[in-house]
Chain A
Amino acid sequence: MKHRNKNIFIRTTVIKKLLISLVVFLCSVQVALAQDTVSDKYGGQLVFTTTSDPRSFNPVVAKENSTSAVIGYLFEGLTKTDGATLEVLPSLAKSWQVSDNGLVWTFYLREDVLWSDGVPFSADDVVFTFNELIYNDEIPTSSRDIFTIDGKKFEVKRISDHVVQFTLPMRFAPFLRSMGTSIMPKHALKSAVDDKTFSFTWGIDTPVDQIIGTGPYLLSLYQPGQRVVLKANPLYWGKSSEGERLPFIQRIIYLIVQNQDVALLKFLEGETDSCDVRGTDYPLLKPLEKEKNFTVYDLGATFGSNFIVFNQNPRVNPKTNKPFVDPIKLSWFQNLEFRKAVAHAIDKKRIVQIVMNDLGYPQYSAMNPSAGIFYNPNVLKYDYDLEKAKQILADAGFVDRNKDGIREDKDGNKVEFNLFTSSNSAERLQIAAIIRHDLEKIGLKVNFLGLEFNNLVAKLIGAYDWDAILIGLTGGIEPHFGKNVWVSNGQLHFWNPGQEQPQTQWEARVDEIFNLAVQELDDKARKPLYDEWQMIVSRELPLIYTVLGAGISAVRNKFENLNPTVYGGVFHNLEELYIKKKYR
Chain B
Amino acid sequence: MLKYILKRILISIPLLFGISLLTFFLIQITPGNFFDTLKLDPQVSPQTIAHYEKLFYLDKSLFQQYWHWLKNLLHFNLGYSFYYNAPVSQIISSRLFNTFILSLSAMLATWLIAIPLGIVMAVNRNRFIDKFLSIISFISLSVPSFFLAIILLYFASKFGGLPLGGMQSADFDQMSLLGKLLDVGRHLVIPTVVISIGAIASLQRIMRGNLLEVLRQQYILAARAKGLPESRVIYKHALRNAINPLITILGYHLSGLLSGAALIEIICSWPGIGSVMLTAVRAKDLYLVMASMLMGGVLLFLGNLLADIMLAWVDPRIRYTDS
Contact = CB atoms under 8 A, between A and B. Distances in A.
Nearest to A201: B85
Contact of B279 (A52, A63, A481): A52
A271 B12 CA distance: 47
A229 B173 CA distance: 10
B48 A225 contact: no
Contact of A47 (B39, B170, B269, B270): B170
Contacts of A203: 84-86
A439 to B, nearest CB: 24
Given A61-B85, A204-B86, A225-B275, A481 B42 contact: yes
B164 interface: yes
Given A262-B164, A262-B269, A145 B85 contact: no
Nearest to A224: B94
Contacts of A490: 42
A255 B170 contact: yes
A258 B39 contact: no
Contacts of A140: 48, 51-52, 55
Given A61-B85, A473-B40, A481-B42, A454 B31 contact: yes
B33 interface: yes
Interface string B9-31: 00000000000000000000011
Interface in B254-286: 266-267, 269-272, 275-276, 279, 284
Chain A's interface size range is 35 or more
B45 interface: yes
Contacts of A482: 42
B166 interface: yes
Chain B's interface size range is 35 or more
B164 A226 contact: no
Contacts of B94: 205, 224-225
B153 to A, nearest CB: 7
B48 A258 contact: no
A253 B170 contact: yes
B36 A458 contact: yes
B32 A491 contact: no
Nearest to A455: B31
Residue of B46, B91, B170 most packed against chain A (CB within 10 A): B170
A265 B153 contact: yes
Contacts of B31: 452, 454-455, 458
Given A454-B30, A454-B31, A226 B167 contact: yes
Contacts of B41: 142, 474
B90 A205 contact: yes
Lowest 8 CB-CB distances: which A-B pairs, in order? Answer: A225-B271, A454-B32, A140-B51, A484-B42, A56-B85, A203-B86, A205-B90, A142-B44
9 contacts: A55-B84, A55-B85, A56-B85, A140-B55, A142-B44, A145-B47, A265-B164, A266-B164, A474-B41
Interface of A: 45, 47, 52-53, 55-56, 58, 61-64, 140-142, 144-146, 199-200, 203-205, 221, 223-227, 229, 253, 255-258, 262, 265-266, 268-269, 271-272, 452-455, 457-458, 460-461, 471, 473-474, 481-485, 490-492
